[in-house]
């Protein structure tokens, strides 16, 4: 009996962190320049959080599409942000500059948030928060962010004031 209990505890310790249902608006994000902000900055808006690394090929492959998505979203109602797990912030900044990425990007800590707070276990991973701060979608792996069907499923508001997929 004791052996079974110890085995259960050991297995639970090895499980990945459980993804949150909602994120606190007080969650601190560290800019690539060392500045800090919190999720409260986007309170009341849809937020697409992409967790990436400069050395991750699938991450680099989807970055152009994320920039185009950022450009298409209604900035009063939605935003795209990046969270790099790169240890070298200068390397991440240089990659973003070369790639022409203009949406806000942040470093994973200190303290780290990707794995312990967001529950990220693979790269890239995108977390979509609704205006209420609740997690509406978790997308593991690269996606085509130009895909109208994907944007419609997520319900993200475009700059014309309508959600993608709305009757035109």
Task: Say which CATH number the domain at 89 has.
Answer: 3.40.30.10
Asked whether residue 90 is assigned to any structural domain, the reply reads: yes
Asked whether residue 1 is assigned to any structural domain, the reply reads: no
Asked whether residue 14 is assigned to any structural domain, the reply reads: no
Could you tell me where the DSSP H helices lie in 15-160? Answer: 57-72, 89-99, 148-154
pTM: 0.84
Asked whether residue 57 is assigned to any structural domain, the reply reads: yes
Above 60 in pLDDT, residue 2? no
Asked whether residue 72 is assigned to any structural domain, the reply reads: yes
User: What's the pLDDT at 119?
Assistant: 94
Number of compact structural domains in the chain: 1
Asked whether residue 13 is assigned to any structural domain, the reply reads: no
Q: What is the pLDDT of residues 130-167, one digit of tens each?
A: 999 999 999 999 999 999 999 999 999 999 755 554 43
Q: Which residue has the tokens 């979203």?
A: 73
Which residue range forms the structural domain that includes residue 56? 29-150
Q: Which residue has the tokens 């806000």?
A: 104
């Amino acid at each position: 009996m004791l052996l079974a209990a110890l085995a259960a505890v050991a297995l639970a310790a090895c499980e990945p962190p459980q993804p949150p249902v909602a994120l606190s608006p007080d969650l601190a994000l560290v800019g690539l320049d060392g500045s800090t902000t919190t999720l409260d900055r986007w309170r009341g808006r849809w937020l697409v959080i992409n967790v990436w690394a400069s050395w991750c090929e699938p991450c680099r492959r989807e970055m152009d599409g994320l920039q185009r998505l950022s450009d298409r979203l209604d900035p009063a109602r939605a935003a795209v942000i990046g969270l790099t797990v790169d240890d070298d912030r200068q390397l991440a900044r240089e990659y973003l500059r070369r790639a022409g990425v203009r949406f806000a990007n942040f470093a994973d800590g200190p303290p780290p948030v990707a794995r312990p707070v967001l529950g990220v276990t693979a790269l890239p991973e995108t977390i979509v928060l609704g205006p209420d701060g609740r997690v509406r979608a978790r997308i593991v792996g690269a996606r085509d962010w130009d895909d109208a069907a994907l944007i419609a499923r997520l319900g993200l508001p475009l700059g014309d004031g309508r959600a993608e997929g709305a009757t035109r």
